[in-house]
Structure 1
Amino acid sequence: MATEKRGVIAFQGELGAYSHEACRNARPEMDVLPCATFEDVIEAVTTGVADLAMLPVENSTYGRVADIHRLLPSSGLHIIGEAFVRVRIVLMTVPGRKLEDIRHVRAHLVLLPQSARFLRTHAIAGHAAADSAGAAAELARSHAPGEGVLASEIAAEIHGLEILARNIEDNAHNTTRFLIMSREPDSTRRAERMMTTFVFRVRNIPAALYKAMGGFATNGVNMTKLESYMVEGNFTATQFYADIEGHPEDDNVRLALDELAYFTTHMSLLGVYPADPRRHG
């Protein structure tokens, strides 16, 4: 009996990373492919080893993810969806230990300050690790005494560790937004709420950015994100990354993009995709 092809979705990090959780939530029917770097994730899709990429683009606490905006326009991939993941931090250790046994925890550097209150209350010292899921895998192998790991709940599940405390983050709003990317674009209207993402460079004229943005205001298009970054390390070459609500075929979006084109030297559409339901609460 032939088995149905499940498809493969690639992510950066170890099994049990928050990117893995994003894959599980958004595409539970697909097999996952962990990769060492964002570039490896992109290459896995462009070469056909994987069908989709799951890439983090921004975090509600720390802002944009380094290098992603630089990589996306040149990746050759297209955004076909977004996924929001609440970063729920779990303290885990090898089975049989109690909370009072834990004197040290290892985690990715960004998780430690997010759990500062819990660690201080329980007199636990935090130590930075390259990857939280990787730290969980290492602890499962080493059984280091008095040590725990801060990571996702699925990291504990995958590596056979026991959870001692859940949701220990100081702020309950911490969320990471991921982009789901494919070799082929899909701009069909698949939901009532759609998002459009693009990059552009403005012409070298006074107030070019202000004028370029005017079309979105006058046409009632909500721009949810606008960020700038240098191109090839050049202080005079700036590229802008933008997310807007709506579909390019909507009359107001079409008019706004037409006006944008007049004030830009380059504009590239990165994707048209359904808004994640959690975007609007």
Structure 2
Amino acid sequence: MTETLPSLDDVRQSIDRLDGEIQTLISERARCAQQVAHIKLRESPETTVFYRPEREAQVLQKVMARNAGPLHPETMARLFREIMSACLALEHTLNIAFLGPNGTFTQTAAVKHFGHGVNTSPLATIDEVFREVAAGSADYGVVPVENSTEGMVSHTLDSFLNSNLRIIGEVELRIHHHLLVGEGTKTESISRIYSHQQSLAQCRQWLDANFPRAERVAVSSNAEAARRVNGEWHSAAIAGETAAEIYGLKQLHQRIEDNPNNTTRFLIIGREAVSASGTDKTSIIITAKNQPGALFTILEPFHRRGINLTRIESRPSKHDIWTYAFFIDFEGHQDDAAVQEVMAELEPRMREVKWLGSYPKAVL
């Protein structure tokens, strides 16, 4: 038997009815958010914390778990991310500092994590982001920490050595590079290509094959590359969609990165500790004594207790020559019993152990 489909008008009427119900529920949720703000201010007016990373991670995880389609779970979570962002803005509008200028992938990461209901402020260096958050001028900061192709961002790691800020979250962002040009630029006239040095490295094979004779000029950021191209008829920039939109450039070629899985991880830095969400990571810095087997001494207690290490990176210590600090990420929260047992075992063996924070794993 042939299925009888409803008329187009019937379907549109159903959509209009559902839109009204959705809008009513969103408004009801927003009023609940306002009540949350009043309760928080009443209970702790001097130390009110409006943004709770562990709570938001739990909500997004539940959204993805109960999603029944046809929308993809991540698409559904992104919709809720924006609803939550708008509702949080009714309680308190967050000020987010990020490594600028406007149009960088770091800004994209900030919006991905916090939604559009925040104020974002571009800063020139990673050091400035740390200083603004430490001083309270920004509620939180967003900085890059590692790329799947090019490795660690050493400047971010070094900034933690002299800072008391905590990591309160992480963002993983799939990086797509596009070749951008101004309206008057012709492909055959391109003799110079601007981009950040890491982006140039991530697109090296494509550039060798398509623009082998063009001069490659490294600049401070992809956004700066896009800004320069805006006034030059013979140049192009490698940058993302956000930079193209901000500076009014055309995408001459899309997704030119050599590795289609190219991903950058960003850290959210803040001043307060984060409670357990149930799916957490912890970051620490350990300065080991300069002796044989020092690295084994650090790693063995984690292995013995079944704690998975997700990253380990060494950097020269700023205090003693030929002494190294190890940046370690592992699964679990610092309040977990197994984690506390490991740290109790390590502290007397190490020169210094510094907690950078426990935080929810990236959800989106």
- Residue 45 of structure 1 is matched in structure 2 by 133
- Residue 180 of structure 2 is matched in structure 1 by 92
1:90-239 correspondence runs (5 A): 90-95=178-183, 97=185, 99-123=187-211, 125=214, 126-140=216-230, 142=231, 144-186=232-274, 188-190=275-277, 192-203=278-289, 206-232=292-318, 234-239=320-325
Contact kept? 2:144, 2:267, Cα under 8 Å: yes
Q: 1:253 to 1:98 in 2, by over 3 A?
A: same
CA RMSD of aligned residues (A): 2.1
> Which has a greater percent of helix?
2
One-letter identity of the residue aligned with 1:199: I
Contact kept? 2:283, 2:355, Cα under 8 Å: yes
Contact kept? 1:93, 1:162, Cα under 8 Å: yes
> Which has a greater percent of strand?
1
Q: 1:168 to 1:204 in 2, by over 3 A?
A: closer
Q: Aligned pairs, how many?
A: 272
One-letter identity of the residue aligned with 2:227: A
One-letter identity of the residue aligned with 2:226: A
User: Post-superposition shift, 1:62?
Assistant: 1.5
Task: Determine the C-alpha separation between the residues in 2 that align with 1:203 and 1:110.
Answer: 33
Task: Determine the C-alpha separation between the residues in 2 that align with 1:123 and 1:205.
Answer: 50
Contact kept? 1:221, 1:256, Cα under 8 Å: no
Task: Determine the C-alpha separation between the residues in 2 that align with 1:122 and 1:211.
Answer: 49
Per-residue CA shift, 1:92-126, capped at 9, x if unaligned?
Answer: 11235454553432111222232233333433613
Per-residue CA shift, 1:161-202, capped at 9, x if unaligned?
Answer: 11122111111122111110112222x112x32101111223
Residue 60 in structure 1 maps to residue 60 in structure 2: no
Per-residue CA shift, 1:19-64, capped at 9, x if unaligned?
Answer: 1111111112221111111111111111222111111111111211
Contact kept? 1:213, 1:260, Cα under 8 Å: no
Task: Determine the C-alpha separation between the residues in 1 that align with 2:191 and 2:288.
Answer: 54
Task: Determine the C-alpha separation between the residues in 2 that align with 1:18 and 1:172.
Answer: 16
One-letter identity of the residue aligned with 2:169: G
Task: Could you tell me which runs of 5 or more consecutive residues in structure 1 were left unpaired when the two chains were aligned.
Answer: none
Contact kept? 2:194, 2:218, Cα under 8 Å: yes
Per-residue CA shift, 1:223-245, capped at 9, x if unaligned?
Answer: 11122222226333322211110
Task: Determine the C-alpha separation between the residues in 2 that align with 1:70 and 1:128.
Answer: 22
Task: Could you tell me which runs of 5 or more consecutive residues in structure 2 were left unpaired when the two chains were aligned.
Answer: 1-88
TM-score by length of 1: 0.89
TM-score by length of 2: 0.69
Contact kept? 2:104, 2:222, Cα under 8 Å: yes
Contact kept? 1:208, 1:263, Cα under 8 Å: no
- For the pair shown, the structure with the greater C-alpha radius of gyration is 2
- Residue 249 of structure 1 is matched in structure 2 by 335
Q: Aligned with 2:183: secondary structure?
A: coil
User: Post-superposition shift, 1:204?
Assistant: 5.6
From 158, 163, 168, the counterpart of 1:75: 163
Q: 1:113 to 1:63 in 2, by over 3 A?
A: closer
Contact kept? 1:108, 1:129, Cα under 8 Å: yes
